[in-house]
Structure 1
Amino acid sequence: MLIKPMLALCVASTAIAGAAMAEGTTYGPRPFYLIDRMHDGPLKEKLASCTGQAPSMSKFSIGHRGAPLQFPEHTVESNVAAARMGAGILECDVTFTADKELVCRHAQNDLHTTTDILATDLATKCTKPFSPASGNRNASAECRASDITLAEFRTLTAKMDAANTKGTTVAEYMDGTAGWRTDLYSVQDGTLMTHAESIALFDSLGADFTPELKSASVDMPHDGFSQADYAQKMIDDYKAAGIDPARVWVQSFDLDDVKYWIENEPEFGAQAVYLDDRYAESDEDEGLIDYMDPATFKPTMQELADMGVKYIAPPMWMLLTLDDAGNMVASPYATEAQAAGLNVITWTLEPSGPLINGGGWYFQSVREAIDTDGDYFTILHALREEAGVVGVFSDWPATVTYYANCIGLD
């Protein structure tokens, strides 16, 4: 089995990226495309007035898995693109391989949609081998990072995260990229990374770090590897690299992970981010919170603050609602977080293509106020001015960077 020289590729790409960063960041055409499509008004006038500004990195702009609107996520190439677009913080979603090595993947069980594993000999190691579509049955597969060793992981090539569930062959199944995305930047090798390699890359790009400890697809403890071991191992990579904890915002959807860092690694725990997915999406979601009803917040925002949590990160729609005039305003969730002194980060801008039909799941609370792609800036402005967010994850960081530079956010 041929093992790609991943670290060498990473170092080479880093050198190229470092030279590019020395020349400055670039917005590319998209922010201007969005401004052109905004409705006339003060915000459009303000953003249009900044068209001649010099792009610069901003920590308000967070690369969500890099720049996966067009680049394969969690790759060297995706993160270099995000840094070139001014993302001041970059993300590695952290999971582990069969030999307990930490790697960057959005989920432990996503290799079948984010890499070429099904087209390789490693497909035989997948938890659930490829099953073709037949009749009313969709094609399916499940391949986990924990199914293979780090050495085997290094042989894979990243691709755009997608699957064609109507595929009757592996090739058809792997060819599922949405029409508003592109495979243009994944026709050549998409370079996967270990967590440690992501630290070296992001540091060389002048960006800070927001690693997310992903929930394991295997039962924990796994072969003697406990959840605490997992949470600690991620921190240890930053210590080994000599990274100042003030540059790191560790994240988890599991409040116990956040509490572990607060209690056991207080320097890192001081900026630990509680990713909030407690949202109720229907009346059947008992025990979950209604973002419009503070009585359902369990624990409350103040209780979270009393635990030592300083950062909370819900999806965008939980932070905004519409007033009687149809304007985007802060939701009760956002105002309660502000009252408790919590710093709010949110996810994810530009994850789902054109907004002309309301934008989908991420925009559900303000759907009636959306009718143009220019509303990405309308939403971004409301998140900052109404909900008071201190950072925004984006699948195309140039949009957030342009806004941050224009209104003077570092």
Structure 2
Amino acid sequence: MTRRIPIDVPLIIGHRGAPGYRPEHTASSYRLAFAMGADAVEPDVVATSDGVLVIRHENEISGTTDVADHPEFADRRTTKRIDGVALTGWFTEDFTWAELATLRCRERVPALRPGSAGFDDTEPILRLADLLTLVAEASTEHGRELGVVLEIKHATFFAGIGHDLAALVERDLRAAGWASGEHPLWVESFERSVLDDLRARGVPAVYVYLLEAEGAPADLVAREGAAAPDYAQTLTPAGLDALNGGVDGISVDKQILLRHSGRELVAEAHARGLVVFTWTCRPENAFLDRRFRHGAQAAFGDYRAEWAAIAGTGVDGVFVDHPDLGQVVFRD
């Protein structure tokens, strides 16, 4: 089942909330995003050892929590290969939810966002269930229907250690009343297989396939090895044809729109009935395309010009770290 959701274009999506101002994926970050006018927010979900879905950008959490300051968890530090990349740190799947609940969140890039870092160690990790409740409450508070763009992370990796993320997502959505089609819900992943699985379970949503500027999807690499088609192949007319009817949209790295024929890609996708999102619009020079950088890494560059170029492609949704700035550029 697919739910087609009418939206103002482009949809303003609070990327992990409003992490330009508060540590990502915290309750205050999400609430601030809605207060600043975001239409939806984007939680990333990963699993604990006891099957609780928690909201973290990655299952490795040393950069976004105070876990390293907890001596009782020192022996959990390890190295793992996640989607082909070796990472060292602490991983959500090695903790129960009760253990993770003792941690506090921190700003990922404190050198670039010291204001956000000023809120370090003040808020706990959220579960998906917590976030769904928060969004429902915010919809009532602001008097408008607010949405969730739910990203499922590392599904193939988690399947390999016994966690079916599609089943866990379905469980939490149904328990919270978010699997009836009554709320604006988008589900996205870099792995097409988990999207197919969740849709087969009858969860009504708009299903969006995330596409990197380079590399290949982890689920296809696990299945086909070096023969796996890469993301670039999906962005061709033939690749988009293959998506039609399988997913409802694509979400692309903004560099794909800025450095290639972004308007043409969006038009090709629209011709096939696909919506197009892009990520991530951030104003700091460190994140801008080189053409729009002016000054120090943490300073704001000519983000308005970059974002105007993105808007000019006809894109349907934009992920922003500063929803207030997104409102000014993309809507006003």
TM-score (norm 2): 0.79
Match of 2:43 in 1: 92
Give 1:211 deviation, angstroms.
1.3
Match of 2:29 in 1: 78
**Residues 278, 319 of structure 2: 8 Å contact kept:** yes
**Pair 331,385 (structure 1): closer, same or farther in 2 beyond 3 Å:** closer
Q: How does 1:2-401 map to 2 (within 5 A)?
A: 60-109=11-60, 111-128=61-78, 141-162=88-109, 177-206=110-139, 207-215=146-154, 218=157, 220-223=159-162, 225=163, 229-243=164-178, 244-245=180-181, 246-265=183-202, 267-268=204-205, 271-277=206-212, 279=214, 287-290=229-232, 297=236, 300-307=239-246, 309-321=247-259, 330=262, 332-350=264-282, 353-354=284-285, 359=287, 363=289, 367-368=290-291, 371=294, 373=300, 375-386=302-313, 388-401=314-327
Determine what percentage of the aligned residue pairs are the same residue.
27
Q: Which structure shows the higher strand fraction?
A: 2
| Structure 1 CA distance for aligned equivalents of residues 160 and 234 of structure 2 | 35
Give 1:403 deviation, angstroms.
3.0
1:395 partner amino acid: D
**Residues 212, 250 of structure 1: 8 Å contact kept:** yes
1:238-295 CA-partner distances (Å, limit 9, x unpaired): 2211234351101111011122233332523xx01111126369xxxx95354xxx79
SS in 2 for 1:320: helix
Match of 1:45 in 2: none
| Structure 2 CA distance for aligned equivalents of residues 141 and 300 of structure 1 | 35
| Structure 2 CA distance for aligned equivalents of residues 251 and 310 of structure 1 | 10
1:252 partner amino acid: S
**Pair 216,300 (structure 1): closer, same or farther in 2 beyond 3 Å:** closer
**Residues 70, 181 of structure 1: 8 Å contact kept:** no
| Structure 1 CA distance for aligned equivalents of residues 215 and 329 of structure 2 | 31
Give 1:85 deviation, angstroms.
1.1
2:32 partner amino acid: A
| Structure 1 CA distance for aligned equivalents of residues 254 and 276 of structure 2 | 10
1:111-158 CA-partner distances (Å, limit 9, x unpaired): 1111111101343242428xxxxxxxxxx9410011110000100010
Match of 1:33 in 2: none
| Structure 1 CA distance for aligned equivalents of residues 322 and 249 of structure 2 | 23
1:220 partner amino acid: A
What RMSD over aligned residues (CA atoms) do the two structures have, in Å?
3.1
SS in 2 for 1:306: coil
Q: Which entry has the higher C-alpha Rg, 1 or 2?
A: 1
1:390 partner amino acid: D
| Structure 2 CA distance for aligned equivalents of residues 314 and 106 of structure 1 | 17
**Pair 141,186 (structure 1): closer, same or farther in 2 beyond 3 Å:** farther
Give 1:318 deviation, angstroms.
0.6
**Residues 69, 181 of structure 1: 8 Å contact kept:** no
SS in 2 for 1:113: coil
| Structure 1 CA distance for aligned equivalents of residues 158 and 32 of structure 2 | 35
| Structure 2 CA distance for aligned equivalents of residues 370 and 118 of structure 1 | 34
Give 1:335 deviation, angstroms.
3.4
**Pair 198,266 (structure 1): closer, same or farther in 2 beyond 3 Å:** closer
| Structure 2 CA distance for aligned equivalents of residues 108 and 235 of structure 1 | 19
**Pair 216,303 (structure 1): closer, same or farther in 2 beyond 3 Å:** closer
Give 1:210 deviation, angstroms.
1.1
Give 1:320 deviation, angstroms.
2.7
Give 1:384 deviation, angstroms.
2.4
Structure 1 unaligned segments of length 5 or more: list them.
1-56, 130-139, 163-176, 323-328
| Structure 2 CA distance for aligned equivalents of residues 221 and 128 of structure 1 | 18
Number of residue pairs matched by the alignment: 297
Moved over 6 A (4+): none
Give 1:340 deviation, angstroms.
1.9
SS in 1 for 2:98: helix
| Structure 2 CA distance for aligned equivalents of residues 295 and 200 of structure 1 | 35
1:99 partner amino acid: D
1:199 partner amino acid: L
1:300 partner amino acid: G
SS in 2 for 1:345: strand
**Residues 67, 397 of structure 1: 8 Å contact kept:** yes
TM-score (norm 1): 0.65
1:86 partner amino acid: G
**Pair 218,191 (structure 1): closer, same or farther in 2 beyond 3 Å:** same
1:76-131 CA-partner distances (Å, limit 9, x unpaired): 1111121111111012110011111111000111x1111111101343242428xx
